[in-house]
Amino acid sequence: MAVKLKDELKAAGRRLTRPRQAVLEVLEQCQYPLTASELYQQLQEHHVSIDLVTVYRTLTVLKELGLITQLELHQEGQFRYEIREGREHHHHIRCQGCGKIADLLLCPLKKLTAFIEKETRFIVEHHSLEFSGWCPKCQ
Question: Which residues form the interface with a second copy (CB under 8 A)?
Answer: 72, 74-75, 93, 95-96, 102, 104, 108, 112-113, 116-117, 119-136, 139
Q: Which residues are near DNA by CB under 7 A?
A: 6, 9-10, 13-20, 35-37, 49-54, 56-58, 60-61, 77-79
Provide the minimum distance between the beta carbon of 120 and DNA in the complex, in angstroms, as a whole number.
Answer: 25
Provide the minimum distance between the beta carbon of 11 and Mn ion in the complex, in angstroms, as a whole number.
Answer: 26
Binding mask 93-112 for Mn ion (x = CB under 5 A): ----------x---------
Q: Per CB under 5 A, does 105 bind Zn ion?
A: no
87-110 CB burial, b ≥16 within 10 A, e <16: eeeebbebbeeeeebeeeeeeeee
Give CA separation, 109 vs 92, 117, 123, 125, in Å: 14, 12, 14, 12
Q: Name which of 25 and 130 has its Cβ closer to a second copy.
A: 130
9-30 CB burial, b ≥16 within 10 A, e <16: beeeeeeeeebbbbbbbbbeee
Picked from Mn ion, a second copy, DNA, none, the partner binding residue 18 (CB below 5 to 8 A depending on kind) is DNA
Binding mask 56-85 for Zn ion (x = CB under 5 A): ------------------------------
Query: Are the C-beta atoms of residues 138 and 99 closer than 8 Å to each other?
Result: no
Strands (E), 17-78: 68-72
